[in-house]
């Protein structure tokens, strides 16, 4: 998630930038190898830096304008931190620059700004969900897993009418799956599909569908569907929401033994001793509907929304709704009316 830390304004940007051009290359980036852009700096004679949009773990993003009179516009430039891989393909001062459309806020920021932490209206979610399913459909057709779908990685245009899926830093081709010790931690925790945690490989594009379902719930309620960070805790909450996992799914999981013996072994810290304890759980109190607490002013539209989420959050990925099926769902067809 990017932090909104604007660049410090400088009195004479041209003089500062001119001095930078003749400076030591080590001054082009900070001690952590983030590129240090200056207000007014011109990149490759094409783009002039206007401000900093923010910085993340792997890169910084700057707002810039094009210097071509025939197509002057605002764009965003994402500059990853300098490392050996990026250095081999570097284009500007030992940094790779990714020029893209300048967008406004992400869906988490939209929810906080307009939903006041209570979520946004269902008709808007219908429009955004339809566009998200189109994106997932396209990724599936291209054989790509996004692997990190969450509100932070879905940008909204300035008109607020369109969303765009972004940040493909951990995306992979379906054919390139390689199980490893890190595999159970693929995807951010609150959006991590159960088959990832259990190691039911090979994974399908349905890992992104699960994440999308978590996002839609969050957009409407303004809160996490699974507010927990550990895989063991996630499995518990997923079963409390949807019931026991199919036995065939557990049998196939490479990591099932980390969480199940004869029953589910729930790990938690003792509040007094601060030591981890194990609690064997043979059953769970499951709600009649995993989304029974959702209510809205439009009963028919809400009913369709809840049904879509139920199908997006099916534990068994082979029975989870696909993007093609979702685009035909009554809730998403509502956007065309």
The residues carrying an active-site annotation are 148
Burial 201-233 (b: 16+ CB within 10 A, else e): bebbbbbbbbbbbbbbbbbbbbeebbeeeebbb
Q: What is the token pair recorded at 22? A: 């003749």
Cα-only R_g, the chain: 23
- Asked whether residue 337 is marked as a ligand-binding residue, the answer is no
Q: Are 203 and 145 a contacting pair, CB within 8 Å?
A: yes
Q: What is the token pair recorded at 260? A: 């199940």
Evaluate the CA torsion angle 140, 144, 150, 155 in order and state its sign: negative
35 in helix, strand or coil? strand
DSSP one-letter string for 64-92? EEE--GGG--EEEEEEEPP-HHHHHT--B
DSSP one-letter string for 36-70? ---TT-EETTTEEEEEEEEE-SSEEEEEEEE--GG
Q: Are 82 and 95 a contacting pair, CB within 8 Å?
A: yes
100 in helix, strand or coil? strand
Binding site for ATP: residue ranges?
82
Binding site: residue ranges?
82
């Amino acid at each position: 998630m990017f932090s909104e830390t604007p660049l410090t304004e400088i009195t004479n940007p041209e003089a500062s930038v001119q001095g930078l051009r003749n400076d030591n290359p080590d001054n082009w980036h900070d001690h952590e190898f983030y590129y240090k852009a200056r207000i007014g700096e011109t990149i490759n004679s094409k783009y002039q830096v206007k401000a900093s949009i923010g910085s993340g773990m792997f890169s910084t993003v700057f707002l810039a304008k094009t210097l071509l009179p025939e197509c002057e516009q605002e764009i965003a430039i994402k500059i990853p931190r300098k490392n050996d891989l990026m250095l081999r393909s570097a284009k500007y001062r030992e940094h790779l620059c990714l020029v893209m459309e300048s967008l406004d806020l992400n869906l988490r920021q939209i929810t906080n700004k307009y939903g006041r932490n209570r979520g946004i209206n269902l008709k808007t979610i219908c429009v955004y969900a339809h566009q998200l399913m189109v994106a997932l459909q396209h990724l599936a057709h291209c054989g790509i897993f996004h692997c990190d779908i969450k509100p932070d990685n879905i940008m909204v245009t300035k008109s607020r009418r369109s969303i765009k899926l972004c940040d493909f830093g951990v995306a992979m081709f379906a054919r390139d799956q390689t199980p490893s010790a890190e595999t159970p931690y693929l995807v951010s925790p609150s959006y991590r599909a159960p088959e990832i945690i259990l190691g039911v490989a090979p994974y399908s594009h349905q890992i992104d569908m699960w994440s999308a379902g978590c996002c839609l719930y969050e957009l409407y309620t303004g809160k996490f569907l699974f507010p927990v960070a550990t895989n063991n805790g996630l499995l518990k909450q997923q079963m409390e929401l949807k019931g026991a996992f199919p036995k065939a799914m557990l049998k196939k999981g490479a990591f099932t033994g980390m969480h199940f013996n004869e029953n589910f072994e729930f790990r938690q810290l003792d509040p007094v001793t601060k030591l981890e304890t194990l609690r064997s759980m043979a059953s769970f109190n499951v709600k009649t509907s995993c989304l029974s607490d959702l209510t809205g002013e439009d009963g028919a539209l809400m009913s369709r929304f809840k049904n879509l989420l139920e199908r997006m959050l099916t534990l068994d990925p082979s029975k989870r709704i696909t993007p093609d099926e979702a685009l035909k769902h009554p809730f998403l067809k509502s956007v065309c009316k």
